[in-house]
Amino acid sequence: MTERQTKILQIVNENQKVEVALLAEMLDVSQVTIRKDLDALEEKRLLVREHGYAQMCNPDDINNRLAVRYDVKQRIARAAAEIVASGETVMIESGSSCAILAEILATEKKDVTVITNSAFIAAHIRDTAIGKVILLGGDYQKESQVMVGPLVRKCAREFYVDKLFMGTDGFIPQAGFTCGDMMRAEAMKNMAESAKHSIILTDSSKFSQQGVVLQCRFENVGMVFTDSGIPDSAKTILERNQITVCAV
């Protein structure tokens, strides 16, 4: 994705709906150029084009979550990708930063196997995957495009990997990381049972939010990849709990 396309995502995300003519004026390029950028972004399902303007996807759709702070999430995912070796097998959960990580691994690493409960991730990297993609079975959640339920646990038990990468919806200083959906949180716990190390990928905004379900306690997390906006208080708590923090 180009720098200009990243700026377009940021502008559309902040305004929800922006005219093509205004985007061209703001970025000092022709409307033809903007339309080409919008075509590329729509193909990635990061926004929607409608009669002379661009708008964000459904707020509950993972495509919308992927587009929010895309440039930050890309830096986070790229940093996380550095700890994955070619030929390795990893588990990747359904977070938006995790989807970008999966794309990087699929295009830049050799023979990496991705085990995921995210139908979105499996589809997202289907045309670029150099290695292998294994989609865990389960009950399908439409908006998040993720598999949940007892079948996820049954399938995950058949594997054991060194690293599980997870997203998160929030943070509780006294306990750990939280999720907004009970079924998704349970799926992450089931996958964590099949991994030696659990690793969180999240932009710093999540440290000021709180989900309704406890996803994982501090003692069950080994590393956190985030951005430089992480509050000092949160970073201190994580490091006090022996969690390695990588803020990019």
pLDDT of residue 129: 60
Mean pLDDT across the chain: 91
**Mean pLDDT value of segment 99-125:** 92
d(CA 187, CA 19): 40
Domains of the chain: 3-56 (1.10.10.10), 71-247 (3.40.50.1360)
pLDDT at 113: 94
> Can you tell me the mean pLDDT for 193-210?
95
Q: Indicate the pLDDT class of residue 55, thresholds 50, 70 and 90.
A: confident
The 8 Å CB, 24+ separation contacts for 225-228 are 225/76, 225/77, 225/79, 225/80, 225/97, 225/199, 225/200, 225/201, 226/76, 226/200, 226/201, 226/202, 227/72, 227/75, 227/76, 227/203, 228/204
| Res 61: pLDDT | 63
* Whether the Cβ atoms of residue 151 and residue 140 lie closer than 8 Å to each other: no
